């Protein structure tokens, strides 16, 4: 099995939530993920995400750090404090690549940190690496 096939197999049917206040980032991620066979749930900010998360129960969550009202750090922390979603992988998205930003993300429970702009390959590989193992 090739690496691409392996990633495609892991992504098929996976539910991925993308939380970002940028319509462009949400749409780009959605296109890449849908093409890879994922089901995508979009949220404009942390409040929107928290309202949708219980209904959709995503397998992997991407959250932008810089958002109005409820930022990515606060959103990640609230997701991880919920026992139903404590083990759901949360991947922080940011245009900032500083050590402080990464450390703060990990402190609130994020599992990975992806810098924007991301490529299709980087996005799909990150999701495949963090996807829960299905039996």
For the segment 2-17, what is each residue's pLDDT rounded down to a tens digit? 466 678 788 999 999 9
- For the chain, which residues make up each domain, given as ranges? 3-130
19-46 pLDDT tens trace = 999 999 999 999 999 999 999 999 999 9
For the record, the structure tokens of 62 come out as 């991407």
Range 54-65 burial, b when 16+ CB lie within 10 A, else e: eeeebbbbbbbb
Residue 99 confidence (pLDDT): 87
pTM of the model: 0.93
Residue 1 confidence (pLDDT): 42
Dihedral (CA of 82, 83, 88, 90) sign = positive
Domain 3-130: CATH architecture, name and number where available: 3-Layer(aba) Sandwich (3.40)
Task: Count the residues in the chain.
Answer: 135
Range name among 35-39, 47-51, 56-60, 96-100 with the lowest pLDDT average: 96-100
For the chain, the distance separating the N- and C-terminal CA atoms, rounded to the nearest angstrom, is: 18
Residue with tokens 């749409």: 27
């Amino acid at each position: 099995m090739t690496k691409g096939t392996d990633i495609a197999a892991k992504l098929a049917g996976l539910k991925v939530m993308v939380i970002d206040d940028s319509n462009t980032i949400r749409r780009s991620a959605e296109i890449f993920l849908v093409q890879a066979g994922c089901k995508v749930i979009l949220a404009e900010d942390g409040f929107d995400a928290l309202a949708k998360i219980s209904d959709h129960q995503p397998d992997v969550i991407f959250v932008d750090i810089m958002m109005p009202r409820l930022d990515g750090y606060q959103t990640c922390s609230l997701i991880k404090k919920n026992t139903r979603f404590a083990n759901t992988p949360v991947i922080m998205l940011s245009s900032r690549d500083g050590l402080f930003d990464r450390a703060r993300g990990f402190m609130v429970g994020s599992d990975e940190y992806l810098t924007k702009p991301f490529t299709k390959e980087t996005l799909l590989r990150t999701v495949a690496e963090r996807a829960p193992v299905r039996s």
